Amino acid sequence: MVALSDLKKISDVEWEIPTAFRADMRVPVAIFATRELLEAIAGDKSLDQAVNAATLPGLVGRVVVMPDMHQGYGFPIGGVAATEYPHGVISPGAIGYDINCGVRLLASQIELDRVSDELDDLAMSLNRHCPSGVGVSGHYRLNDKELDQVMREGAQWALKKGFASEADLGRTEEFGSIQGADPAKVSQRAKQRGANQIGTLGAGNHFIEVDVVDKVFDEDAANVMGLREGNLTLMIHCGSRGFGHQICTDYVRDFQSIVPKYKIQLPDRELVCAPMNSAEGKAYFGAMNSAANFAFANRQLLAYHARQAFEESLAGRVKNWHLHQVYDIAHNMGKVETHKVDGKNMEVCVHRKGATRAFGPGTPGLPGEFQKIGQPVLVPGSMGTASWVLVGTEGSMARSFGSTCHGAGRTMSRSKAKKTVRGSELRAELEARGIHVQAGSLPGLAEEAPQAYKDVDEVVETVARAGIARKVARLRPVAVVKG
Amino acid sequence: MNMLENAGFEEREHTADWSLHVWAPDLAGLIEQAAKGMADLSGIKTDDKERVTRTIKIESTDAEGLLVNFLTELLHLMDTAGLIFDTFNLVVAENVVNAKMEGSPILERKKEIKAVTYHNLKIEKKSRGLEAEIVFDV
């Protein structure tokens, strides 16, 4: 087990586990954390999981973990690993079951003061319009042809159907439609699980939240994004639902038997992988991109319904109730990108599991309006606490494969949270602080209590100090919808 | 916790996901306990007036694979058919499980399990039979 004494201090916010720590490590592990956050991280097995991740064949640079890191399965949550493309491997478990789980932020010109009395109604309306909860179906059941289109086109499909605008897509990672999807590599079972789940939020830590822009730290970047202090925003956190879960399940199962074929030895079977240029690696990549497009379309549909809820609750009561997209980002993905490794540009497959892409200013592929400020990064906090808007930097490009943190990061198990916190009391406490709550399940609410998470402000402060993101704005929640 | 004399399941602490410790005298019993444990974690209410049966065949290259694939199949039936099973007749031959199962339609499901993982999964022979710890992504 990794002890804090095994870590080499690089700075107050950066640490390293050298390859000498264990014989099977191929690259070092870099940890962005303060001493205090490190101590919280050391309470579970996440550092050991990071060391296991450092054994994947074809890794380059170093495995990077973020301050919101916590124990997952196989690969730690908050981890980033880049493998040489196309000879290195791709590992489904290093991306996660909820492929393209991500966050979408929409902003408005609605001043909080003008709608304080409407927030309860707005939360109920959001809950009505946006299907959430376990096993809940959406407003749409896709036939085979439509599901195929969603897999290939992502949010572009939603645009054709009238659920999106060009402006929405322009402000979505990969413009809402990632290349390389191959629906033929998606199982019938995944299609069955996904067909009626498009446009649904799900449960667990997924949510829709109305926030107010509490404080702007970078006026120029906030102006580009349309964020203004005192105005409402809407955040959506969810992914590819059962469709993505089944794709990851299928490939983790199939890769169990092909690992020996490629003479790959791993410390944990959940890390199974295949070379990117193998038939198996290409098949997973095609299926994973199909799930990524499903998730982009899913968040787009939820945004469409959230806009309906805003119209229903606020049209006629405020002059401009419209929501415009700030950005939509993935934080569970594997992507082929170009990064500088040992001073040379190299194509790599960047695995991000609970880590957000954070491209710095001038990075090719960013929309023109973000070229100067860098890519927006959306960091939801735990329920009832702040969320953050950041931007990628030159530092994130140089030191973390264009990546940064993705949230607060759990410190307490769900069962312990339920024993420690009563859902009804938590709801009353949030309501007393002016946060309107619509929750499908009170025990589910308790599991997501802020006490179960690290302090998101400390996480964000750490990535800002480390130079792998820059603060733009802090958001404060005023209404929460949870499945 | 379900503590039968020599077979059962209990939830173990895990920071983000769910971990289930299961034990039983043999592999068929272990798979059955894991299935019951997974249903317990999901917080399911059923319509007991209606009973359904299903017969499934699961294959894998090893015992851990059988366990994961069996639970994954049950998860699939929960998601797509809205069914949960509580009575199992399992026959385990070499790398194959043949199961006849009886259960009910799901009325309410409080928790969503995304997937059954292989994380550190090892079925071990111990004093009371076989034991394993299964991590679920939730």
Low-confidence ranges of chain A (pLDDT < 50): none
Q: What sign does the CA torsion over A320, A201, A374, A456 have? A: positive
Residue pair A255/A268 in contact by the 8 Å Cβ criterion:
no
Interchain CB distance below 8 Å, B72 and A204: no
Closest by Cα among B47, B120, B41, B49 to B74: B41
Per the model's pLDDT, the better-predicted residue between B15 and B104 turns out to be B104
Is any Cβ of chain B less than 8 angstroms from the Cβ of A246? yes
Q: Which of the four pLDDT bands, split at 50, 70 and 90, describes residue B1?
A: low
Q: How many A-B residue pairs are in contact by the CB < 8 A criterion?
A: 108
Question: Which of A247, A249, A442 to mutate to test binding with chain B, by most B CBs within 10 Å of its CB?
Answer: A249
A70 carries an active-site annotation: no
Residue A476 pairs with which residues in a beta bridge?
A212
Interchain CB distance below 8 Å, A73 and B11: no
Identify each DSSP E strand in B30-118 by its residue range. 44-46, 52-59, 83-93, 96-109, 115-116
| Measured distance CA(A212)–CA(A480) in Å, rounded | 12
The predicted-structure confidence for A178-193, as pLDDT tens digits, reads as follows 999 999 999 999 999 8
Q: Name the closest residue on chain A to residue B11, using Cα atoms.
A: A415
* Burial grade of B1 (CB within 10 A; 0-12, 13-18, 19 or more): exposed
- Domain around A158: 4-91+99-411+453-482
Question: Which of A100, A196, A410, A413 to mutate to test binding with chain B, by most B CBs within 10 Å of its CB?
Answer: A413
pLDDT value for A245 = 96
Q: What sign does the CA torsion over A41, A42, A47, A48 have? A: negative
Is any Cβ of chain A less than 8 angstroms from the Cβ of B64? yes
Flag whether A417 is in a domain: no
Tell me, what CATH number does A307's domain have? Answer: 3.90.1860.10
Closest by Cα among B115, B28, B102 to B67: B28
Chain B residues 13-52 with a CB less than 8 Å from chain A: 13-18, 42-43
- Domain around B100: 2-137
Q: b/e per residue, A262-293, with b = 16+ CB within 10 A?
A: eebebbbbbbbbbbbebebbbbbbbbbbbbbb
What is the value of pTM for the model shown? Answer: 0.96
* Position B34 pLDDT exceeds 90: yes
Kindly give the residue spans of alpha helices, DSSP state H, lying in A315-439: 394-399, 414-420, 423-432
The total of structural domains in chain B comes to 1
Residue pair A181/A148 in contact by the 8 Å Cβ criterion:
no
Interchain CB distance below 8 Å, B80 and A72: no
* Position B3 pLDDT exceeds 70: no
> Cα–Cα–Cα angle for B50, B51, B54, nearest 5°?
140
Q: Which of the four pLDDT bands, split at 50, 70 and 90, describes residue B16?
A: confident
The total of structural domains in chain A comes to 1
Closest by Cα among A272, A238, A266, A268 to A93: A272
Average pLDDT over residues B11-16: 83
* Position B125 pLDDT exceeds 70: yes
Interchain CB distance below 8 Å, A189 and B14: no
Residue pair A32/A312 in contact by the 8 Å Cβ criterion:
no
Of chain A, the percentage scoring pLDDT greater than 90 comes to 86
Amino acid identity for residue A481 in this structure: V
Report DSSP state, residue A204.
T
Chain A residues 72-91 with a CB less than 8 Å from chain B: 72-74, 77
Interchain CB distance below 8 Å, A269 and B137: no
| Measured distance CA(A480)–CA(A429) in Å, rounded | 13
Give me A352's structure tokens.
């991000």
Give me A312's structure tokens.
């229903």
Closest by Cα among A283, A276, A278, A293 to A251: A283
Q: Name the closest residue on chain A to residue B117, using Cα atoms.
A: A270
Interchain CB distance below 8 Å, A249 and B64: no
The predicted-structure confidence for B50-95, as pLDDT tens digits, reads as follows 999 999 999 999 999 999 999 999 999 998 899 999 999 999 998 9
Q: Which of the four pLDDT bands, split at 50, 70 and 90, describes residue B4?
A: low
> Does the model's ipTM exceed the 0.85 cut?
yes
Q: b/e per residue, A349-362, with b = 16+ CB within 10 A?
A: bbbbbbbbbbbbbe
Is any Cβ of chain B less than 8 angstroms from the Cβ of A269? yes
Tell me, what CATH number does B105's domain have? Answer: 3.55.10.10
Of chain B, the percentage scoring pLDDT greater than 90 comes to 80
Q: Which strand (E) or helix (H) includes residue A291? A: helix A279-314
Q: What is the number of helices (H) and of strands (E) in chain B? A: 2, 10
Closest by Cα among A314, A293, A295 to A236: A295
Q: Which residues of A touch B10 (CB under 8 A)?
A: none
Flag whether A420 is in a domain: no
Give me B32's structure tokens.
């059955």
Is any Cβ of chain A less than 8 angstroms from the Cβ of B111? yes
Residue A348 pairs with which residues in a beta bridge?
A84, A337
Closest by Cα among A246, A329, A293 to A150: A293
pLDDT value for A444 = 82
* Position B29 pLDDT exceeds 90: yes
* Position B19 pLDDT exceeds 60: yes
Flag whether A366 is in a domain: yes
> Cα–Cα–Cα angle for A320, A322, A327, nearest 5°?
135
pLDDT value for A137 = 82
Q: Which strand (E) or helix (H) includes residue A127? A: helix A119-129
Flag whether A431 is in a domain: no
Closest by Cα among A204, A272, A270, A273 to A241: A204
pLDDT value for A179 = 96
From A305, A339, A406, A436, active-site residue? A406
